[in-house]
Amino acid sequence: MDRKKIVGIGAGVGVAAFGIYKLLTGKDPQKYSDKWFDTVSPMKYITDQGRPVTLCHYPMLTWPGISRGGYMVYGHIHNNTGANYWTFIAANDHMLNACVDINAFVPVSLEEMITNNNQFKQIHGSDKSVSEASK
């Protein structure tokens, strides 16, 4: 994924590279026009420097490649840390929020997204462990 940037786009997470836009809707891709997008789909699987990355509008608790150090890049929740699922997300370094709120309203690389999410999680992390949150 050299020189590509992962960005939050309207209704979902997208991948932008030199004017090529892929919209990830999370649901009902038929209601979105492909006039402005190279593809419109609910989910996408990519690799970035050999690392598996699952892109989805919604955060998922498990994803393809998780056992190989893969990343789950999602949108939807913006910077909401008040919901019950936040404990799981905060405890998992491989769940990355692509929302503009976390990424300074600019397109970012996977490395930049990792840094931005780590900083956000340090500030807004949870005191609960993942095992406590699953109760």
pLDDT in tens, the chain (135 residues): 344 455 443 344 455 545 566 677 766 666 666 676 777 778 889 888 899 999 988 899 999 999 999 999 998 888 899 989 999 999 999 999 998 889 988 888 899 999 999 999 999 986 544 434 433
- 48 in Cβ contact with 70 (< 8 Å): no
pTM: 0.77
- 6 in Cβ contact with 12 (< 8 Å): no
| Whole-angstrom Cα Rg for the chain | 14
Cα distance from N-terminal residue to C-terminal residue, the chain: 38
SS3 category, 114: helix
